């Protein structure tokens, strides 16, 4: 049976992950409106990944005998000053999610919930990757500056991103 404090914290994380998906879909729409279809596609994949993360938490809560409680999702931001501004907001949001995952890990350790701690380690690793990917894009954008050809080339590059392969089914 799942600890009540862990269940409540994991349900809050489910909401954060769904919000992340919603935010990245909003960013995708922004890029579509700017005819940056590669960046829009990159963000759609990001939105799909965040949805999958929410569902991992959802499934875990249920597997542990808890109940996944879905909360309201706040409307995400929908307008930005520039491409760089979008990715800087992405990085800030990923830092927020990393801090939230870290808090969950700390709670699992405090409560000696080794199963939840083990479950969370995948997310710890995932957040390192998420932050590194966005940092690389931000660095590229800072190097490019306002050069429209550079933005065009980065848009093309980001449009080549493929969705992550599905995780193997549990036995």
- pLDDT at 165 (0 to 100): 74
* Alpha-carbon distance values, 93 to 16, 34, 43, 145 (Å): 10, 22, 13, 22
Query: So what's the pLDDT on residue 164?
Result: 79
- Does some domain include residue 163? no
pTM of whole model > 0.85? yes
d(CA 46, CA 158): 11
In angstroms, the CA 102 to CA 110 distance is: 12
Number of domains in the chain: 1
Answer yes or no: is 9 within a domain: yes
Residue 15 lies in a domain: yes
Domain membership of residue 166 (yes or no) is no
Residue at 106 is within a domain: yes
Task: Provide the residue-wise pLDDT of the chain in tens; the chain has 171 residues.
Answer: 899 999 999 999 999 999 999 999 999 999 999 999 999 999 999 999 999 999 999 999 999 999 999 999 999 999 999 999 999 999 999 999 999 999 999 999 999 999 999 999 999 999 999 999 999 999 999 999 999 999 999 999 999 988 877 665 554
For residue 104, the domain's CATH number is: 1.20.1260.10
- Residue 42 DSSP one-character state: H
Assigned domain for 19 exists = yes
Report if residue 30 sits inside a domain: yes
Q: Look at residue 56 and tell me if it is in a domain.
A: yes
> Which structural domain, as residue segments, surrounds residue 151?
4-158
Q: Is 51 exposed, middle or buried (0-12, 13-18, 19+ CB in 10 A)?
A: middle
């Amino acid at each position: 049976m799942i600890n009540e404090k862990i269940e409540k914290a994991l349900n809050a994380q489910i909401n954060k992950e769904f919000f992340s998906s919603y935010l990245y879909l909003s960013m995708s729409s922004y890029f579509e409106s700017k005819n940056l279809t590669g960046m829009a596609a990159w963000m759609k994949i990001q939105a799909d990944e965040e949805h999958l993360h929410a569902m991992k938490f959802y499934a875990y809560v249920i597997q542990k005998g808890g109940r996944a409680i879905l909360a309201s999702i706040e409307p995400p931001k929908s307008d930005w000053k520039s491409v760089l501004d979008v990715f800087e907001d992405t990085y800030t949001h990923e830092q927020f999610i990393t801090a939230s995952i870290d808090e969950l890990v700390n709670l699992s350790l405090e409560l000696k919930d080794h199963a939840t701690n083990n479950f969370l380690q995948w997310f710890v690793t995932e957040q390192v990757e998420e932050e590194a990917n966005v940092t690389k894009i931000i660095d590229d954008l800072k190097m490019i500056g306002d050069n429209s050809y550079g933005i065009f080339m980065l848009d093309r590059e980001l449009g080549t991103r493929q969705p992550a392969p599905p995780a193997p089914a549990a036995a």
